[in-house]
Amino acid sequence: MAYKFTKGSVAASTDGRINVILNKNERDLVLDEMRQFLISVQAVSSALTNKDLKSVEKIAHEAGMAAEANTPGALFQKLPLGMKKLGFGTRGLFDDISAAAKEGKEPLEIRKQLDALMNNCIACHATYRLPEPVVAN
C-alpha cells in the first residue's frame, strides 16, 4: 500500500516525462484543477495590479488547501508522490499568498510569491503527462 501511495499509477512516456495513468473522470478532474489554478493565478495577478488585497486574500484562500477537501481518495492514490508534493505545495503557496494579503504586505512582495508558485506549475508540467485513457473496443 505504501509503495502504491508513493509510486502512483505511472508509466514511461516517449517525451521523457512520466505518464500518470488515470481514468477519464479522474483525468478530467485533474485537468479542471489545473485550469482552476491558472484562473486563480490570473485573478490574483489582476487583483495585485489593482492593489486589491481583499480580493487577493479571498481568491488565494479559495485556491489553497481549502479546495483540497474535494479530491477523491482513489485519485489521490494514483498520483505519484512528486506530483502530490507539487500539488500540495501549490495549494500551500496560495494559502501563503492569502495570509500575506491579509497582513497587508506590498503587492510587489506578494507578486514574488505568485512567481514562486508558478514555478510549481512549470515543474509539474515539465515532469508529468496525463495521457488520454485507453478505451478497449
Kindly tell me if the per-residue pLDDT of 137 is higher than 70.
Answer: no
Q: Are 63 and 25 in contact (CB under 8 A)?
A: no
Adjacent-strand bridge partners of 11: 19
Residues 11-23: tens digit of each pLDDT: 999 999 999 999 9
Region 37-59: mean pLDDT is 98
CA atoms within 13 A on the CB side of 72: 11
Q: For position 115, which CATH number holds?
A: 1.20.120.10
**Over residues 66-88, mean pLDDT:** 90
Q: Whole-angstrom Cα distance, residue 19 to residue 42?
A: 27
> Considering the domain boundaries, does residue 95 fall inside one?
yes
Asked if residue 65 is part of any domain, the answer here is yes
User: 88-126 pLDDT, tens per residue?
Assistant: 999 999 999 999 999 999 999 999 999 999 999 999 999
Whether residue 52 is predicted with pLDDT greater than 90 in this model: the reply is: yes
pLDDT value, residue 6: 64
pLDDT at 69: 81
Assess if residue 67 is contained within a domain.
yes
**Concatenated DSSP letters of 72-105:** -HHHHHHS-HHHHHHHHHHHHHHHHHHHHHHTT-
DSSP element (H, E) containing 111: helix 107-127
pLDDT of residue 135: 72
Q: Tell me: pLDDT of 70 over 70.
A: yes
pLDDT level of residue 2 (50, 70, 90 thresholds): very low
User: Has residue 134 been placed in a domain?
Assistant: no
* pLDDT of residue 3 exceeding 60: no
Coil, strand or helix at 106:
coil
In-domain check, residue 23: no
- The answer to whether residue 99 is domain-embedded is yes
Q: What is the DSSP letter of 65?
A: G
Contacts of 110 (CB under 8 A, 6+ apart): 44, 48, 53, 56, 97, 100, 101
Q: Which domain holds residue 51?
A: 32-129
Q: Is residue 119 part of a domain?
A: yes
Asked whether residue 42 is domain-assigned, the answer is yes
How many domains, in total, are found in the chain?
A: 1
How sure is the predictor about 74, in pLDDT bands with cuts at 50, 70 and 90? confident
